[in-house]
Amino acid sequence: MNIINSTVVGLTYELKVSKEADEIESAPFSVEVRDQEDPFYFIFGQSGLPEKFEEFLLGKKEGEQFNFVINCEDAYGEADDELIMALPKEQFTKERGFEPGMLEEGNFLPLMDEQGFPLQAKVLKDLGEEILLDFNHPLVGFDLHFEGEIFEVREATAEELQAGQILDE
């Protein structure tokens, strides 16, 4: 079966990222590996991943390998300064599930938006009464290098399509 909309896709991959600065591109470095112990599954057409990711996989089938690069502008784009903001530290209390160590520079805080959807923010700096957070996607500003293999392609069930997620993997 080939990958088309509404198919469940299971794959393994290594994701490397690189960044271009002043016309010089950094060597790609590994940021994520999904292997047979922890494969990645998604419903094609509903992944929430950059469009180009699905475009590169469209029509491929089980057993095929892939190797492609998604440029920054087609991935998560450049950083948006409006997504960097200072919030009162008092919002991050133990009663709300936050431990003091979670607010250290470089950590990612698990948060929820107004609709109850999960999101994360990177702690940039402790400003005393406030904490400076970056709500940009962690891969913003990077070219994404994917190399891997498709090991499963199947039709999604009606329940999976309705739920928008894989239910039995």
- 48 in a domain, yes or no? yes
Q: Are residues 15 and 63 in the same domain?
A: yes
**Half-sphere CA count of 37, side-chain side, radius 13 A:** 1
Residue 96 lies inside a defined structural domain of this protein: yes
Which residues are within 8 A (CB) of 41 and not within 5 positions of it... i.e. 6 or more apart?
8, 9, 10, 152, 166, 169
So what's the pLDDT on residue 13? Answer: 97
Neighbouring CB atoms inside 10 A of 123's CB total 18
CATH at residue 117: 2.40.10.330
In-domain check, residue 99: yes
Give 10-residue mean pLDDT values along the chain (169 residues).
95 93 76 94 91 96 96 94 94 87 91 84 94 94 96 93 79
Q: Which structural domain, as residue segments, surrounds residue 52?
A: 7-75+139-163
**Could you tell me if residue 103 is left (phi over 0), alpha (psi between -120 and 50 degrees) or otherwise beta?**
alpha
Q: What is the helix (H) or strand (E) element at residue 133, kind and residue range?
A: strand 130-134
